[in-house]
Chain A
Amino acid sequence: MLSSRFPFPLSADIFQYSNNLRPLDTNVSIQVTHEYTEEVGLKRSLLKQHPERCFREEIHTRDAQWEVLNYVLHQLSQVYPEHFRLRQEGDNWIFENTLLGEEVHFRDLDNDSLSCAPLDFAGRQVQEDLILLTQYDDKLVLEAGQLCFPGNWSLYFDFGMPFMDIHTPVPGLIDDGLAAKIERFLMRVESGKPWTRLNWSLNAGRRLDTSAETFDEWGPYRYRVTEDNVGHLVHLRVEEQNLMRMPRSNSLLFTIHTYLMPLHEITQNQTWTNRLYRVLCTLSPKLVEYKGLSAYRDVVVEYLAKELRVNT
């Protein structure tokens, strides 16, 4: 049986950006949930329809990509042995994905033995988006990635960018010196000691692929939130992000698993409702705007307040 999972992201009544990385003690960096088949199916169809949007690579990252592929397949087979199996026969690796009824044979580091780039292949087995950063003397650079479920950004645009430039759109992160601190921290991440953090926003609509490219498809729902539909239309969107060092190539793997939960389900939990209510009431105007909440935050706050009154 696959699990349901929803990591609630707010740990205090006030939200500010911070270096909220924590050690990933479980060492489980890939989560397989009961939405697996649906979400992996969606990823594959997005990759097929929009390859430029969903996958980018510098060709010199191929060795690092192989390292990621090995890492991901080992994770799957070790953490979920009932669903995934990996075994070696001579030079051949055999990966069995019983959830999708697939079996793949390939040879390590042999690009011709796979139907696509190794990072792309790894991403097609998991719900996570996979971003690979190469470490240079003084910076981390996004040099390969498979991204199907972005929170309003573009891999096509951010491809090739250093960590700092990637974060220019985030209010305050560069000017406060926080981004530079975080990058220095990341450059010292050691192999075998992964880190994790949660990132959150609200979504109007139940949609994982909220790319900057398709903003005109999903953005308008922000303006259709009403008192009557808010509980079902608006979702808390959580990105569980893990970071780990790939020792052979010294690159960093950044994984993003996106979860959506409609507000009417959030409000089943009094503590969560209260937290979200307080955070939304006090969120700085810049973050309200950046997270795209300007049009409907008030409706959400009203709704949560009402739910809290009903339940006390």
Chain B
Amino acid sequence: MMRNRTAAGGGTRKDNLWAFLQCAHSLLFLCQDGQQESCSAVLQMASDLQIAVRTVTVEELKNELGSAKIGTRLYVCGDYQFVRGLENVLFSFGITNEELWSDVTGATVHPVLCAGCYHRNDPVAGSYIHCEMCGRMLEVSNHYSKKLDAVMGYIVLPEQLVFKSEEPQPSRTTPEGR
């Protein structure tokens, strides 16, 4: 699944979020309690684009899904467990990656070990990073090693992003899993 468009597009993160919002007529906005500061940029952008934003709770969001109009986009933001859990629910409702933007905040408190070159990358927010050492794209997991004090960064193939965006599946990285 493609959460962080930076990963797929190669453009800057802002450009991609901009592109995502541009296709929206309205935006359902869901932010985990206490994390609001982190998504002020999204709200600002939506307001610049004159997109109607509705803030919803998890329950409201689930109820909305049946009746959501074409052109409605979803934005969710929260810590790792929250976002991954919600994504699973959303995908099971048939929401596609085109319709969803999610940001993981404050989740990556741990460094990320690059599976390809063993470099320990500094902690960053987000589900995908590029290894500082070898440049490989990595999926940040919650598979944690105490010994290395790092989570595993699994190598991501360009093919995976294309494939996953066409046919979203619960990722390897589910709350139940990693």
A212 and B174 in contact (CB under 8 A), knowing A52-B118, A157-B145, A288-B169? no
Asked if A168 and B157 make an inter-chain contact with CB atoms under 8 angstroms apart, the answer reads: no
Minimum C-beta distance from A131 to chain B (A): 16
Judged by a CB distance under 8 angstroms, whether B163 is at the interface is yes
Find B147's partner among A161, A222, A288 (CB 8 Å cutoff). Answer: A161
Q: Contact at B145–A160, with CB atoms within 8 Å?
A: yes
What count of chain B residues pass the 8 Å CB interface test? 30
| Contact pick for A294, options B116, B118, B167, CB 8 Å | B167
Asked whether, in the complex, the Cβ of B136 is within 8 Å of the Cβ of A168, the reply is no
Q: Contacts of B160 on A, CB cut-off 8 Å?
A: 219
A289 within 8 A of B: yes
Beta-carbon nearest neighbor of B117 in chain A: A213
Contact with B along A147-158 (1 / 0, CB 8 A): 000000010111
Interface 1/0 per residue, A126-167 and B, CB below 8 Å: 000000000000000000000000000010111111000100
Give chain B residues whose Cβ lies under 8 Å from the Cβ of A223.
Answer: 157, 159, 163
Instruction: Report the number of A-B residue pairs with Cβ-Cβ less than 8 Å.
Output: 89
Interface flags, A190-221, vs B, CB<8A=1, else 0: 00000000000000000000001111100110
Nearest CB on A from B96, distance (A): 15
Q: Is A286 an interface residue (CB 8 A)?
A: yes
> When the two chains form their complex, are residues B115 and A171 in contact, meaning their CB atoms are under 8 A apart?
no
**Docked pose: A164 CA to B17 CA in angstroms:** 38
Main secondary structure of the interface of A (DSSP, over half): helix
Of B28-36, B38-46, B64-72, B148-156, the segment with at least 4 beta carbons within 8 Å of chain A is: B148-156
CB neighbours (8 Å) of A161 from chain B are 145-147
Q: How far is the CA of A302 from the CA of B92 in the complex (A)?
A: 24
Q: In the complex, A187 Cα to B177 Cα: how many Å? A: 23
Q: Which of B96-149 touch A at CB < 8 Å?
A: 113, 115-116, 118, 136, 141-148
**B13 contacts chain A at the CB level, 8 A cutoff:** no
Which of B115, B152, B169 gathers most chain A CB within 10 Å?
A: B115
Among the listed A158, A168, A294, which residue makes an inter-chain contact with B178, where contact means beta carbons less than 8 Å apart?
Answer: A168
Q: Complex Cα distance A219/B158, Å?
A: 11
Task: Tell whether, in the assembled complex, residue A215 and residue B115 are in contact, meaning their CB atoms are under 8 Å apart.
Answer: yes
Q: A157-B115, A168-B143, A223-B157 given. 15 additional CB < 8 A pairs?
A: A154-B115, A157-B113, A161-B146, A165-B143, A165-B145, A171-B176, A175-B176, A212-B115, A213-B115, A214-B116, A216-B155, A219-B160, A286-B176, A294-B163, A294-B167
